[in-house]
Amino acid sequence: MIIDAHGLRKTFTTRTRKGVQTVEAVRGIDLTVGKGEIFGVLGPNGAGKTTTVRMLATLIVPDAGEATVAGHDLRKEPGAVRRRLGYVSQTGGVEDGTSPRAQVMLAARLHGVPDPARRTQEALAAFDLTGVADRPGRTLSGGQRRRVALALGLVHAPALLFLDEPTTGLDPHNRANLWDRIQRLRESGTGVLLTTHYLEEADALCDRLIIVDQGVVVAEGTPAELKRRLAGDVVTLRVGDAATAREVLAPFAEEVRLDGDALRAYLDDGEHRLPAMLRALEEQNVPIRSISLDRATLDDVFLAKTGRSLRDAA
């Protein structure tokens, strides 16, 4: 295990004109990450993802909970933990006035990397930044900036890398490119813990993940396990009379939910049950406006656990 954490908690207290406000950002989170694994923390804005990562990266002290990170106790040996990890924050850390090379070089020196110039060159090359290495940060595109942030987090070859929302704001091309690079890190044996509010990202990239909401874990597993546990298929219907349709369909599905004006029925083996479902609706004179059959997504998992859609919540 490269991370083994139990019962992490953090409450923030802020003084405002209206008095003291407390926010229970993280309310008891457990997580374990294996060596060379890409582990995801998926959840909407405000779920407590950044706070969780900042605790594990020694940037803030938990109010409660224990963790071993990269072989060291988070509370007793924060310095040893810090030396073994890389941290890429949500906002990046690429300065406008300096070049990528100068910044990566500085990070290498701060970490006491032997032969920092050579390591800087390698880190820049690994992220395809050689061509822009000597330009001022302000002239870089969004995708290039994110890659510089990654090079900064990796220049000292950490055993464990924390990526907080690494692809937020990137276009699909740059996102795919970054996914590819993160996958290559796994091949090199680096442990990666990433946070995201993108379902597709968690699904495509993570070996295992937790889904968090309001500071607690609502589900945990591999993307495939999570989707399967909930039932494999979803039939989405738009009908004239949703209340009647819901009753008619209940015996066919493990769960039927009303999501806006759509009914979503969760079931195994949708292909074979669908004809009988349609016949039952017809017998009860429920007009069907549209119908689709899909595999359950991680959003369905989130919806089943919280009653909200992650797409709306994020």
Ligand X SMILES: Nc1ncnc2c1ncn2[C@@H]1O[C@H](COP(=O)(O)OP(=O)(O)O)[C@@H](O)[C@H]1O
| Interface residues toward ligand X, by CB under 6 A | 12, 14, 23, 25, 43, 45-51
For residues 41 to 60, the per-residue mask of contacts with Mg ion, x marking binding by CB under 5 A and - elsewhere, is: --------xx----------
Look at residue 130 and give the partner it binds from ligand X, Mg ion, none, a contact being a CB closer than 5 to 8 Å depending on partner kind: none
Least distance to ligand X from the beta carbon of 39, Å? 16
Select 87 or 266, whichever has its Cβ closest to ligand X: 87
208 binding partner (options ligand X, Mg ion, none; Cβ < 5 to 8 Å by kind)? none
Look-up of token digits 């689709």:
292
- Which residues, other chains included, contact 264 with Cβ-Cβ below 8 Å and sequence gap of 6+? 234, 235, 236, 256, 257, 258, 300, 303
Query: Please, what is the minimum distance in Å from the beta carbon of residue 220 to ligand X?
Result: 16
* 14 binds, options Mg ion, ligand X, none, Cβ within 5 to 8 A by partner type: ligand X
Nearer to ligand X, 90 or 98 (CB): 90
Please provide the size of the chain in residues. Answer: 314
Provide the token pair at 143: 């995708």
Can you name the residues that pair with 164 across neighbouring β-strands? 195
CB within 8 Å of 125: residues ≥ 6 apart: none
Q: Which does 304 bind (CB under 5 to 8 A by kind): Mg ion, ligand X, none?
A: none
| Residue 43 contact among ligand X, Mg ion, none, beta carbon within 5 to 8 Å by kind | ligand X
- Residue 189 dihedral angles phi and psi, to the nearest 5°: 90, 5
Query: Which pair of tokens denotes residue 94?
Result: 């690429």
Q: How far is the CB of 212 from Mg ion (least distance, A)?
A: 11
18 CB-near residues (< 8 Å, 6+ apart): none
Q: Any contact of residue 103 with Mg ion (CB under 5 A)?
A: no
Q: Is the separation of the CB atoms in 190 and 3 below 8 Å?
A: no
| Phi, psi of 160, deg, nearest 5 | -145, 135
Q: Which is nearer to ligand X, 168 or 174 (CB)?
A: 168
The stretches of 18-98 forming alpha helices (DSSP H) are: 49-56, 78-83
- Bridge partners, residue 257, by sequence: 264
User: Cβ of residue 69: shortest distance to ligand X, in angstroms?
Assistant: 18
User: C-beta of 33: minimal distance to ligand X in Å?
Assistant: 18
- φ/ψ (deg, to 5) at 133: -60, -25
* Sheet-wide strand order for 288-295: 255-259, 262-267, 233-239, 288-295
Query: Is 212 or 301 the residue whose CB approaches Mg ion more closely?
Result: 212
Q: How far is the CB of 282 from Mg ion (least distance, A)?
A: 48
Rounded to the nearest 10 degrees, the angle between the axes of helix 142-154 and helix 100-110 is 20
Phi, psi of 54 (to 5 degrees): -65, -35
Q: How far is the CB of 49 from ligand X (least distance, A)?
A: 3
Please identify, using beta-carbon distances, which residue of 43 and 158 lies nearer to ligand X: 43
Nearest CB to ligand X, comparing residues 51 and 167: 51
User: What does 93 bind: ligand X, Mg ion, none (CB cut-off 5 to 8 Å by kind)?
Assistant: none
* Min dist. Cβ of residue 60 to ligand X (A): 8
Q: Please list the residues that pair with 39 across neighbouring strands.
A: 193, 208
Q: What are phi and psi of 7, to 5 degrees?
A: 65, 35
23: partner contacted, choices Mg ion, ligand X, none (Cβ within 5-8 A by kind): ligand X
Closest residue to Mg ion using C-beta atoms: 50
Q: Of Mg ion, ligand X, none, which one does residue 48 interact with (CB within 5 to 8 Å by kind)?
A: ligand X
Binding site for Mg ion (CB under 5 A): 49-50
